[in-house]
Every structure is written in structure tokens, then in C-alpha cells.
Amino acid sequence: MVVNVAAGDTALLQVNDLHTDITTRQGVVHAVSGVSLCIDAGETVGLVGESGCGKTMTAMSLVRLLPGGAGITSGSIKLDGRDLVPLADSQVRSLRGSQIGVVFQDPMTSLNPTMAIGHQIGESFRLHRSASRRQTRSRALEVLGLVGMPRPSERLGEYPHQLSGGMRQRAMIALALVCEPKLLIADEPTTALDATIQAQILELLDNLRQRLGMGMLLVTHDMGVIAGHADRVLVMYAGKIVESAPTEGIFADPRHRYTEALLKSVPSLDQDRSRRLSTIPGTPPDLSHPLRGCSFAPRCSFATDQCNESEPILDGETEAHRYACYHPRSTTAASVTEPASHEAGRSQRPATLARESPPILSLASVSRRYPVGAGVFRRGSESIKAVSDVSLTVAQGETFGLVGESGCGKSTLGRLIVALERPDEGSVLINGTAFDALSKPQQRQRRRDVQLVFQDSYSAMNPKMRIGSIMRDPLRVQRVGSAAEQRARVTALLDSVGLPQRVTDRFPHELSGGQRQRVGFARALTLSPKLIVADEPVSALDVSVQAQIINLMQSLQSEFNLTYVIVSHDLSVVRYVADRIGVMYLGRLVEIGPSDAVYKHPAHPYTAGLLESIPIPRLQQGNAKQGSAIRGELPSAIHPPSGCPFRTRCPRAQDRCANEAPILRGFGSGHSAACHFPLIPVGASADDIGRTI
């Protein structure tokens, strides 16, 4: 039975019973199965779900940008009443850019690296509007200004690699909007961006949608993004829409058990850190095999024989809120947007607080510079100070979170800790000893004790090697054990991260993102390290997989007595996992303290701005923090602002900030910040802070 959720013939976009299949050597993948939706002019519809559920394939079907072997097998896609499915490729090409704009997930791979930004933006306008060269340049400049690009006239001649991540995304949006399309498709437009840049991009899309009267399809797995920026939400699973409702209905009264599970997987700022995150067991189904019954039944704790035997239809008590579930969540249940506590067991967090344990890691006035400029020997060239005079300690068994925007020096500091790079000034001590002070055999042992988990687990693995060989590599290099002992070690570690032994015969591309991240952690554990630096370990993962990895990290910490340094721009994740937090800006540590103190009572305006920028998956986001979301781009690291580096973006900046660099000062037990005009009194007690705020 096909249920058409279109609101009527007046909708800008009407999709009815859309089916898209992909033919592979293993069989036919039914990527989109009977999807129906509508979008009105000026409306934003959110499409959410896990990776592999068909979100992007649905979005790309709308503009016929499908991969090889894929095609629409049935259904209709009507834009202003005109069906796009039967059109010839040339007719569809004339609509892309002019009537339908697309903002892709990764602008670096979507923009042409050999063409200047102005040329790329102008090319679409010239082709669709038959414009002259002068008109094309003028329009490109105009639309770059429209999307808030800093110094747009200078950006026209620059190439994608010369722009920051936020600037590239703005250029991608400008390219999509240059012809003022009626419909904008935004596919994960902010997934890899910092919270501050993400907030700016989402606000920009909202403003442009209202100004131009566009309809927008927002594809994302971030429930916080949906809560603040979508009018209606479609929840997708296994190629089908399983729930459809206004945004308020999805968050206040989710009915489908999959929607409920997604919301419970999201860590919130007030999450109970003593309890494990709720997760969704199992993985999405293989869409190359026919599905019987409810596709979510194998992962649902409420499934019955009826769920396994017949497929529920998309229906509901009202036309506005529909769901395909035999055993929907009760409308009287407690709000699932509050911290979840139903996951069995408590997390095994270290019982000993950081200040009671000896430090395993000590950084003393660490700085790292990178030369820039021309010249074979780079004499007289300028330099970027990626890390500037950073001092901190991390105790045995502690989890230390390092947060800040991209380009603030977090990853560089992580590489310095694991001795992949050496500091130009200062010292990095592990158990009181610097790497360069060790003999060669001792350095080999140090490599065992300190390991790095990379952000992109796929690029960190050799695509030509099987997982078993990748896992054994550290053991072979360090000459640990016989071949049989190495294989046994690999099997035991895979079991500890929840992976079956059969994955040893697979290549990296044959694993899901969550599985690859688990392999990354298992490989880091092969040599029994004492300290692990995890660089953005969950930033690109679905919320369900993210919760699994976070729970896994805490279990491994308890089992192997690990110390973590977590580098991330996801503040809600860091808030949940970290005992203490350090905030970096332009290479400097601007605030450091216990997790609860930093999040509940931030002293530095930059920290408060980061917290304000977090997209929280609630409609009512009470307990507003001091300060406001951070505006503007990160200043140049080659020519940073004088005095306080944050002053050019700080709402509290005064003349003193331009002339004098602030130093770290105390704001309670273990809580320090470098600010001339902090948000809380210097040396205040917890009671004083509460009365002030």
C-alpha cells in the first residue's frame, strides 16, 4: 500500500512512491523503497537516519545524480507540477543549478581544485543565464557577499585549498544559490565543521531560505541540527520513511521505536556521566536482500511475531504525524530528549580523581612553529605558531578533553604528545621523561606506551592490506611474540571491541565506519599502551554508532587502565567522557578545569561562545549560557591579533585586550582561564559563582 504524504498540488516538490535501485555484482540494492514526501516554498524538511538508510540516495534521486548502476525504477518527482523522472538527461541538467541547487557534504571534494572560486560560481550563472563575462563576475561577487564570505572580492581569484572549511562551505552554498533556485538540497552541510562555523552556516541557510522563498531538504544525522532548523522531519530507515511529523512532534512525542532510539543515543550537556549512553543494537539491514516484516524488528526490543511477518504501513492518528510501527511509543511516556538512563549498567569510570593520581603526561611551555613562504631554505620566511606556550598535566587513569575550533592547534598538540613531532620550545614528558632523552631501545618502548587513534580511520589504514595484517603490524614492528601469539592477540583484541574474528580477512573498505573505528582502537591497544590520544574519534559517525564507540572507550579504559587525551570539536561528547577539559584558541590554552566547572560556569567568553553554538536536540533549550555564539572566521595564525588573540571576535573586548596578553588565572579549584574580563569573578567559590550567574 502506498501512502502519499504530499500536502496537495500546491507543494513546490512532490515525491510519490519513489523507488531507486543499485545494481552491483552481489545483486540489486533497493536503496530507496516507496518514499513519498512534499516540500512547500519557504519550508525546510529534515531527512534523518543512520548511514546506509537511503537519505543521500533519496536526495540524489531528486536531481538524478546517481552513481553508476543506479536508477529510478518507479515513482514520480514533481517540481512545480512537472515530473522530472521521464525527462531526458539534457533536460534535467538544465534544471540543476537553475531550479534545484545542491550543497554537498564535503566541499573540498565537490569543488574543482584547478579552478578559482569565482570561476566555478560564475560558470553556473553563465551557462544557465547566458550572461556576459562582466555580468558573471558581478553576480559571483554579489552571491559571495550574500553568503557572508569575508572580503569576497579577494576570494574570487582564490582556489579551494586556500580557504578554510567554513569558507569552502560558504563557496559551495554560493555555487548552489547563484541562479536563485526554487529548491535547495543540503546533504550533511555541516557534519565536518566546528560548532561555531556550523551555527553560522545553518543560520545562513535559514536566512537565505526566507529571503529567497526557497524550499529546502536538509539531510543530516545530527538531531540537534534538525531541532533548530527544520519545520518538518522525515525519519528514514532501510530505504523507507518510518515516521513523518512536524519537528515539535518528533522531539516531544516520537512514536516509532527507531526514532525513540535515535534520540536516546544523543549525549546531552546534562547527561548523567555515571551511566552508559543508550545504543541501538546491531546494524542496519543489507538492502540487497528482500526484507520481510518490519525492517527495524531485528534491532527492536519491542518486536513481536507480527513485526517479523508483515510490514507496518505509514499511518497514524493524525494526517500530520504518521509512523510505521505496530508497537509505537506511548504518548504518555517521558520525554526522550532528556538524558537516557535505561541502558543497563553504569559506566566504569575511574574511581580516582585526577588530582589524586600521579601525572602520566606533563607539558611545560610547549610551542611548535611551522615555516611558511617561498625560498628553498625558507630564510626570512614567516611562520605559523600552531602551539604557543601550552602547559598542562594529565593524571594516570584520567580522560582529558581538548576542544576548540579547527586550526586552533589541538591535533598538533596531539602529535607532539605521541612524539610524531618535536616541540620547538618547552618539553613533553611521559612519566617524567622526554622522548629525546631516551636511548633507542627506550624510545622503542615509549612508542608502545603512547598510541594515537586517528580521526579518519579509513585513511589511516592501508587499503591493500586485510584487517588481520593491519592489526599485526605493530606487533611485527616491535617484534612482540611469535606469529601464532600475534594472531591470538589480534583475535582477543577484536573480541574486546565487539568485532568477530572473521573481519581479519576483510579489507578496510568492506567495513562500516563504526567497525573501522573499532579496528582503530583495537590496533592502538595491541602494544598495551598506557596513554592513548584520540583525535576526533566520533566526529563523522552516526549518533547510534557514536554512542557505541563512546561506551567502548570507557569499557576499554576500565579494562586496560588507560589514560585518554580526547581531541574533539564536539563539546557534548567531550562533556560526557572527560574528567577535565582544556580549551584552545589560536594555539593557546585559554581555559582549563574540571568538566562540570567549565561547562556549567565557563569563565572565558570563547568557551561560552562554543557552548552557545552547540546544536542541542531539544526545542526548548533553557538554561541559556552567558555570552553568545561566536561570529566571524578564525584570524590568521601567521599574523594573529595583538594582545588577546580572541579580542577580534569577543563581545567583551576593551582597549586593554589589544595591548596586553592575558595569563591564566584561577576561578575555583583547578579551574583557570586567560581573560582580562572573565564571565565569573576571579577566585570565586562555587557558591559565589551560583549567586553571580
Domain membership flag for residue 596: yes
Mean pLDDT value across residues 321-348: 64
On the question of pLDDT at 59 being above 70, the answer is yes
pLDDT at 264: 87
On the question of pLDDT at 347 being above 80, the answer is no
CA–CA distance, 673 with 283 (Å, rounded to integer): 43
CA–CA distance, 609 with 652 (Å, rounded to integer): 12
Structural domain for 687, as ranges: 583-692
Alpha carbon 255 to its chain centroid, in Å, reads 26
C-alpha grid cell, residue 536: 576526533
Above pLDDT 90, what percent of the chain? Answer: 55
Residues 311 and 274 in one domain: yes
CA–CA distance, 397 with 318 (Å, rounded to integer): 52
pLDDT band at 336 (very low <50, low <70, confident <90, very high): low
Domain membership flag for residue 464: yes
From 563, 598, 620, give the residue that closes a domain. Answer: 563
pLDDT at 1: 39
Backbone angles phi, psi at 235, to 5 degrees: -100, 125
Instruction: Name which of 292, 267, 329 is nearest 595 in CA terms.
Output: 267
Domain membership flag for residue 113: no
pLDDT band at 194 (very low <50, low <70, confident <90, very high): confident
Statement: the pTM of the whole predicted model exceeds 0.85: no
Q: How far is CA 288 from CA 20, 34, 166, 514, in A?
A: 12, 16, 37, 20
Mean pLDDT value across residues 400-426: 92
Instruction: Name which of 686, 663, 659, 658 is nearest 604 in CA terms.
Output: 663
Q: Select the more confidently predicted residue: 61 or 690.
A: 61
pLDDT band at 223 (very low <50, low <70, confident <90, very high): confident
**Residues pairing with 581 in the sheet:** 401, 593
On the question of pLDDT at 295 being above 50, the answer is yes
On the question of pLDDT at 572 being above 60, the answer is yes
pLDDT at 575: 87
User: What is the identity of the amino acid at 252?
Assistant: A
DSSP state of 261: H
CA atoms lying within 13 Å on the CB side of residue 609: 27
Domain membership flag for residue 145: no
Residue count (the chain): 693
**Residues pairing with 534 in the sheet:** 453, 566
Are 362 and 526 contacting, i.e. CB atoms less than 8 angstroms apart? no
Mean pLDDT value across residues 113-124: 94
Are 564 and 535 contacting, i.e. CB atoms less than 8 angstroms apart? no
pLDDT at 50: 86
Residues 367 and 467 in one domain: yes
Helix (H) or strand (E) holding 547: helix 543-560
CA–CA distance, 646 with 585 (Å, rounded to integer): 7
CA–CA distance, 307 with 431 (Å, rounded to integer): 56
pLDDT at 691: 45
Residues 204 and 313 in one domain: yes
Sign of torsion over alpha carbons 464, 468, 472, 474: positive
Mean pLDDT value across residues 158-172: 86
Are 503 and 435 contacting, i.e. CB atoms less than 8 angstroms apart? no
- What's the chain's average pLDDT? 86
- Using DSSP bridges, classify how beta strands 580-585 and 399-403 pair: parallel, antiparallel or unpaired: parallel
pLDDT band at 255 (very low <50, low <70, confident <90, very high): very high
On the question of pLDDT at 621 being above 90, the answer is no
CA–CA distance, 339 with 278 (Å, rounded to integer): 9
On the question of pLDDT at 332 being above 70, the answer is no
Are 55 and 47 contacting, i.e. CB atoms less than 8 angstroms apart? yes
Residues 662 and 631 in one domain: yes
Sign of torsion over alpha carbons 475, 476, 482, 486: positive
- Using DSSP bridges, classify how beta strands 215-219 and 183-187 pair: parallel, antiparallel or unpaired: parallel
Q: Which range scores top for mean pLDDT: 6-10, 184-188, 622-626?
A: 184-188
Residues 308 and 362 in one domain: no
- State whether residue 449 is helix, strand or coil: helix
pLDDT at 684: 63
Above pLDDT 70, what percent of the chain? Answer: 90
Backbone angles phi, psi at 349, to 5 degrees: -75, 150
Instruction: Name which of 243, 432, 416 is nearest 336 in CA terms.
Output: 243
Sign of torsion over alpha carbons 6, 9, 12, 15: positive
pLDDT at 342: 39
Q: Which range scores top for mean pLDDT: 171-180, 283-292, 513-522?
A: 171-180
pLDDT band at 625 (very low <50, low <70, confident <90, very high): very low
Are 258 and 85 contacting, i.e. CB atoms less than 8 angstroms apart? no
Residue 92: other Cβ atoms inside 10 A: 16
Residues 673 and 539 in one domain: no
**Any idea what the CATH number is for the domain that residue 426 is in?**
3.40.50.300
For the ranges 47-61, 258-272, 474-488, 611-625, the lowest mean pLDDT is seen at 611-625
Domain membership flag for residue 594: yes
Total domains present in the chain: 3
CA–CA distance, 287 with 31 (Å, rounded to integer): 7
Are 235 and 250 contacting, i.e. CB atoms less than 8 angstroms apart? yes
From 563, 597, 612, give the residue that closes a domain. Answer: 563
For the ranges 295-304, 456-465, 531-540, 619-628, the lowest mean pLDDT is seen at 619-628
Are 409 and 386 contacting, i.e. CB atoms less than 8 angstroms apart? yes
pLDDT at 598: 93
- State whether residue 393 is helix, strand or coil: strand
Are 192 and 540 contacting, i.e. CB atoms less than 8 angstroms apart? yes
Residues 594 and 492 in one domain: no
Are 579 and 394 contacting, i.e. CB atoms less than 8 angstroms apart? no
Surface-to-core class of residue 283, CB atoms within 10 Å of its CB (0-12 exposed, 13-18 middle, 19+ buried): middle
pLDDT band at 250 (very low <50, low <70, confident <90, very high): very high
Q: Which range scores top for mean pLDDT: 105-109, 579-583, 621-625, 637-641?
A: 579-583
Domain membership flag for residue 83: yes
Domain membership flag for residue 652: yes
C-alpha grid cell, residue 283: 546494524
Residues 545 and 637 in one domain: no
Helix (H) or strand (E) holding 262: helix 257-264
CA–CA distance, 29 with 20 (Å, rounded to integer): 9
Are 128 and 94 contacting, i.e. CB atoms less than 8 angstroms apart? yes
pLDDT at 659: 95
Residues 229 and 363 in one domain: no
Residues 373 and 460 in one domain: yes
pLDDT band at 338 (very low <50, low <70, confident <90, very high): very low
CA–CA distance, 495 with 498 (Å, rounded to integer): 5
Q: Which range scores top for mean pLDDT: 329-343, 507-521, 562-576?
A: 562-576
Are 192 and 165 contacting, i.e. CB atoms less than 8 angstroms apart? yes
pLDDT band at 351 (very low <50, low <70, confident <90, very high): very low
* pLDDT tens column, 648-679: 999 999 999 999 999 999 998 899 999 999 99
On the question of pLDDT at 354 being above 50, the answer is no
pLDDT at 94: 92
Residues 93 and 230 in one domain: yes
Domain membership flag for residue 302: yes
Backbone angles phi, psi at 354, to 5 degrees: -55, -40
On the question of pLDDT at 237 being above 50, the answer is yes
pLDDT band at 379 (very low <50, low <70, confident <90, very high): low
Residues 309 and 449 in one domain: no
> Three-state secondary structure along 590-632?
EEEEEHHHHHHCCCCHHHHHHHHCCCCCCCCCCCCCCCCCCCC
Q: Select the more confidently predicted residue: 343 or 236.
A: 236
